[in-house]
Amino acid sequence: MRNVRLLLCSLCSCCALYAQFDDALGIVERPDSSSIVRLLTVEGDTLTVEAYLARVRTYHPDIRIAAAGIERARGVETSAWGLLDPRIRAHYSTKNYYGGLKNNELGATLNLPLYWGQQISIGYRRATDFFDTDYTTGSDGEPSIALSIPLVRNVQTDAVRTAIARSEQGIILAEAQLDERRNSLSLAAVTEYYGWVASRARYDIAADLFEIINERYRWIRSEIERGERAPVDSIEILQELFRRRALLARARNLVERSLLTVAIYLWGDDERSMVERFVPEPFPTPELLDPVQVAFDRSRALQRRPEMRRLFAEREQLTFDLRLVRESFKPNLAAKLSLYSPGWTTPIDQMPTYWKAGVDFELPLMYRAPSGQQQQVIAQQTQIEALIELQRRRIENDVSLAAASVNATYEQAVLARAERRAAEMMVEAERRLFERGESDLLRLNLRERLLAEAREREVEALHSHAVARAYYRWAIADY
């Protein structure tokens, strides 16, 4: 009874094994394809890095958001200049008293504020039926023109000029933020682009390995059927066939993931179908950076990096704020001169002209409000100066790190290419030995695996070098 159970278990295991082999052979015999994204089976048009970046910079929402920030800053500037717009004020009032009209008044004034703090006022006033005879005008009313001039406070600057200067720096700040976002977005997009290039190169490696082993499998199987080779070789070659087909599926999944990641940065048309229609350009040729060029780029990056321009704009805004706060410590002394004429209908050469002059004076007693504001602005200036110093150190370090990565990956790429060529020579020699019967499948498969690993290392080195070059461009604000 025990032997029967063992026999039944063996039969079940064999049936399950044969079923698994049938499923695996079915996958091997099918051409490799994806049900999620369409992978190119033939070479299509090339999507270059610059064309890809141009589309990212044009249509990506982050760029549109930063560009809207510039428009918002320009709107703030327009609003600040609007503080100098002429304004018209008019009023009319009357009072009923014991069945008649009393205190009947009509007035209109055109105020023309000037950029340097002065203000011109052109007005007309008509006041009748007032007890105050000095305030009462004739029935024709009286025109007037007045000039107000600050004498101590608001001479060097005032709230209007400060708002205009801050808004102008706000545009510079918004443009720097746009450049900063474009620089960072370009780095992220290029990094994913080169990941796409690397995944396709790894897929080509896996496809070449599978094609070689698939042809060899058919050739060995025909030799076994003719009795020219031992049947055990079919298990060896079949194991290698399954392994390489699994590697091909994994490489295809990497292409799918990289393609979908690249499509995230494309907007406008159907981004995924656009990527599916194109193939990426190859990795750039490895280049070595010269120390003189690195030193020049390090000093140039301090001027080109948008982070520094943004901090400089913020520092300038604080300078204007501090200047306005210090104006508050001065006494407010302003003079006003007004010319008016009660003869509205008389000829100009006969029109009588009167003048009215006055002085306004204001002096705070404790200065707590301006002192607190000054303390806040000075503290903010200290923070900005520290941030500028810190950012300058970071930029110099970014350029140095990027340059070191570029040169290190250059050496890795050159050595990996030489290793790959040596591995190709070894595979060719092993294949000739195998064809003469002086080698076996195990050694040939091992040589081909070593060649695949060498090609993988070359792709990885080229990928690392391309990403390092992209990071170097970001460090010197070359996007």
**326, part of any domain:** no
Residue 135 burial (CB count, 10 A): 11
**Residue found by looking up tokens 């399954």 in the block:** 242
CB 266 within 8 A of CB 56: yes
Mean pLDDT lowest among 155-169, 186-200, 234-248, 306-320: 234-248
pLDDT of residue 194: 95
Across 196-216, average pLDDT: 88
**21, part of any domain:** no
Strand ranges for 208-268 from DSSP E? none
- Whether residue 1 is predicted with pLDDT greater than 60 in this model: the reply is no
**69, part of any domain:** no
Whole-angstrom distance, CA of residue 381 vs CA of residue 315: 7
135 shares a domain with 100: yes
pLDDT of residue 71: 95
Residue 280 burial (CB count, 10 A): 23
Across 118-140, average pLDDT: 81
CB 61 within 8 A of CB 191: no
335 shares a domain with 290: no
pLDDT of residue 173: 95
**Residue found by looking up tokens 């107000």 in the block:** 148
348 shares a domain with 465: no
Strand ranges for 230-314 from DSSP E? 278-280
Cα dihedral angle (338, 341, 347, 348), rounded to 10 degrees?
-10
Q: How confident is the model at residue 15 (pLDDT cuts 50, 70, 90)?
A: very low
Nearest of 75, 309, 62, 78 to residue 173 by alpha carbon: 309
Whole-angstrom distance, CA of residue 257 vs CA of residue 39: 12
339 shares a domain with 311: no
Q: What is the CATH number of the domain that holds 309?
A: 1.20.1600.10
243 shares a domain with 124: no
309 shares a domain with 204: yes
For 394, the token pair is: 């970071």
pLDDT of residue 77: 95
357 shares a domain with 241: no
434 shares a domain with 384: yes
227 shares a domain with 186: yes
CB 107 within 8 A of CB 91: yes
pLDDT of residue 20: 53
Across 283-303, average pLDDT: 93
pLDDT of residue 9: 45
257 shares a domain with 145: no
pLDDT of residue 439: 80
Domain extent for 97: 87-160+331-366
- Whether residue 6 is predicted with pLDDT greater than 50 in this model: the reply is no
pLDDT of residue 399: 96
Q: Which residues contact 2 (CB under 8 A, 6 or more apart)?
A: none
Across-strand partners of 144? Answer: 123, 340
The CA–CA distances, whole Å, from 92 to 76, 100, 295 equal 35, 17, 73
DSSP letters spanning 328-381: TTS-EEEEEEEEE-S-SSS-GGG---EEEEEEEEE--SS-HHHHHHHHHHHHHH
- Whether residue 43 is predicted with pLDDT greater than 70 in this model: the reply is no
- Whether residue 12 is predicted with pLDDT greater than 70 in this model: the reply is no
User: Which secondary-structure segment (H or E) carries 235?
Assistant: helix 232-264
Across 22-48, average pLDDT: 68
| Mean pLDDT of the residues in the chain | 85
**236, part of any domain:** yes
Whole-model pTM over 0.85: no
pLDDT of residue 216: 80
Q: Which residues contact 21 (CB under 8 A, 6 or more apart)?
A: none
Q: Which residue has the higher pLDDT, 338 or 236?
A: 338
Across 275-299, average pLDDT: 90
292 shares a domain with 338: no
Across 145-154, average pLDDT: 92
Angle between helix 368-435 and 291-304 (nearest 10) = 140
246 shares a domain with 119: no
**166, part of any domain:** no
pLDDT tens digits for 325-334? 999 999 999 9
**8, part of any domain:** no
pLDDT tens digits for 354-372? 888 889 898 888 889 899 9
User: How many domains is the chain built from?
Assistant: 2
Whole-angstrom distance, CA of residue 206 vs CA of residue 225: 28
pLDDT of residue 444: 84
Across 33-50, average pLDDT: 70
Max Cα distance, the chain (Å): 142
Nearest of 203, 201, 266, 205 to residue 464 by alpha carbon: 201
Nearest of 45, 472, 415, 469 to residue 284 by alpha carbon: 469
Whole-angstrom distance, CA of residue 371 vs CA of residue 328: 9
CB 162 within 8 A of CB 321: yes
Q: Look up residue 125 and give its DSSP letter.
A: E
**353, part of any domain:** yes
pLDDT tens digits for 207-219? 888 888 888 878 7
**325, part of any domain:** no
Q: Is the dihedral of CA 98, 103, 106, 108 positive or negative?
A: negative
Nearest of 170, 176, 168, 169 to residue 66 by alpha carbon: 176
Whole-angstrom distance, CA of residue 263 vs CA of residue 257: 10
Rg for the chain, CA atoms, rounded? 41
Alpha carbons within 13 A on the beta-carbon side of 433: 15
